Structure 1
Amino acid sequence: MTASNADLSTILNRILDAAADNLRIAKILTQMGLDPNNVTYDAIFNRLLEIFLHNITLANMFALVGAIFFVATLLTQTMVPLRVANMIGCAFFAAFGALTGTVTTFLLYLLLVPINAFRLRQMLVLIKKARSATQGDTSMEWLKPFMTERKYRKGDILMKKGDAANEMLLTVTGKFLVMEINVELPPGRLMGELGFLTPDNRRTATIECIEDGHVLTITYEKLLEIYFQNPQFGYYFLVLTSQRLLENIARLEGILAQNKLAQQAAAASGPN
């Protein structure tokens, strides 16, 4: 084992001697405080260790911790831990800037701390409301701050059956007609939520605006983000869609019952 280490050290020293013959490398070695005519693996290691120990300062330690938390944000998959790690990392980088007297670094990372704190608070409020919604409140009021407004006029087609779907809508004012089943949607009703669950994200019905109004929209990507922050939202969303499907089934059963009564009435009033 000792002979093997000696052979490796000899090979490395030969490589370093050959590299030292290059003027550019010799200049770099000189800047590092090494003698180009007497370069060994041990000498480089000792010099690097000396540089490392010399630069162990409080400011650099803050920068190192900040870098660790920055790497943690790259490895984090959910937003809440990411925001927390980012805030901690920015705080350490701001301390590094203050200790080294770098005003731009200090101000940049100091500004990022409250921004991340604000976004973190938004996400925590969203999670709290989503969790309370999963416990029985099936209204969509809690989701409105994360939706955007869109206006429609009478005769506008909001969506067509079979089209690609990428957003869910909530009616606020006006009236909208589901053309396939001839059902009006009053304010406060969801539209397009079933497209979120279909395998190919396709619209399952055509909806027309029959009275001027406006809706609130939210993309499926945002819904997925909410789900990843609080998986309970997935259960809540299933409750909403199940309620919608049950309503459709009850409506169809009512239509079938009416048709059956009509047929029976027609048969009873037939030729005597």
Structure 2
Amino acid sequence: MGSNSAASISDRFLETAADNLRIAKILVQMGLDPNNITYDTLLDRLLEIVLANITLANMLALVGAIFLVATLLMHTIVPLRVASMLGCMFFVAYGALSGNVGAFILYLLLLPINAIRLRQILNLIKRARIATEGDTSLELLKPFMTERRYRRGDKLFRKNDAASEMFLTVTGTFLVKEISVELPPGRLMGELGFLTPNQRRTATVECIEDGQVMTITYEKLLEIFFQNPQFGYYCLVLTSQRLLENISRLEGIIAQGKAARQTLASDDIA
């Protein structure tokens, strides 16, 4: 009863729509009689059209469209480029089978562009991974650095001083006074000032054994940072390690303070 009622309502709606001249033309183009149109005849005709157009070329275009639409839902670049390449490949095949020269040329050109971009991204990821495995970026810096020597007792910089350069220790020993940490040869220092918003020194560094350092200005460092992703990622890793070391050192100081208070409390009770 309900289905018959719905069908009759649909038929009346189609009859009303068929009175519109534009809709009537569309129905005629579909091979339907606007004066004798029902829900069943329209559904049957649409099914005939769909079945008549199920060809290998159209199926390839459908799969290609699914891949290209999927790229709009992806959040990372590598799978996006892979899906885009697959979509282009299916559309190239569609253009070749259907004789659609425009589609064939368009997606044939897009295919190598996506392939080149994918390779660039993979190389970037590879360089970033290499950057976390060693100090290869330090070799990159040395041609841009200037040699400087310090004697025992010299201050390289003081806490809250304006920061304008980064240092690489070559020989000698240097002391970070606020946290009593010695820096042997091969260590970077002053990199945190490069990343702080106001570019101020976060600690005082003093030479405690005559030595040599290499320096590089932040301006040159910023230029290399943007030109070389490997070095940029290395800086992020280095800064993260330094912050984790500071947190670990702070936790140790807090633990020592708690232990000292507990000892004092025990002595008072005794």
In the superposition, the TM-score normalised over structure 2's length comes to: 0.61
Asked if residue 66 in structure 1 is aligned to residue 57 in structure 2, the reply is: no
- 1:104-145, CA deviations, whole angstroms, 9 ceiling, x for partnerless residues? 2212111111111111111112222222333x3144379x9x
Superposition deviation, residue 60 in structure 1: 0.7
Structure 2, unaligned stretches of length 5 or more?
147-155, 169-187, 202-215, 248-270
CA contact (8 A) 1:178 1:205 kept: no
Correspondence for 1:54 among 33, 52, 55: 52
- For 1:115 and 1:96, the matched residues in 2 are separated by 19
- For 1:239 and 1:29, the matched residues in 2 are separated by 66
Superposition deviation, residue 244 in structure 1: 5.0
Aligned partner of 1:14 in structure 2 is 12
Correspondence for 1:205 among 193, 200, 203: 200
Superposition deviation, residue 78 in structure 1: 0.5
Aligned partner of 2:144 in structure 1 is 173
Superposition deviation, residue 237 in structure 1: 6.0
Correspondence for 2:23 among 19, 22, 25: 25
Aligned partner of 1:194 in structure 2 is 195
Task: Please state whether the residue corresponding to 1:185 is helix, strand or coil.
Answer: strand
- For 2:218 and 2:236, the matched residues in 1 are separated by 30
In the superposition, the TM-score normalised over structure 1's length comes to: 0.60
RMSD: 3.9
Task: Please state whether the residue corresponding to 2:224 is helix, strand or coil.
Answer: strand
> Which stretch of the first structure deviates more once superposed, 107-116 or 209-218?
209-218
Going from structure 1 to structure 2, the CA distance change for 1:91 and 1:190 (only over 3 Å counts) comes to farther
Task: Please state whether the residue corresponding to 1:216 is helix, strand or coil.
Answer: helix
Structure 1, unaligned stretches of length 5 or more?
145-169, 196-201, 227-232, 250-272
Identity %: 54
- For 2:241 and 2:119, the matched residues in 1 are separated by 31
Task: Please state whether the residue corresponding to 2:87 is helix, strand or coil.
Answer: helix
- For 1:216 and 1:97, the matched residues in 2 are separated by 45
Aligned partner of 2:137 in structure 1 is 140
Aligned partner of 1:89 in structure 2 is 87
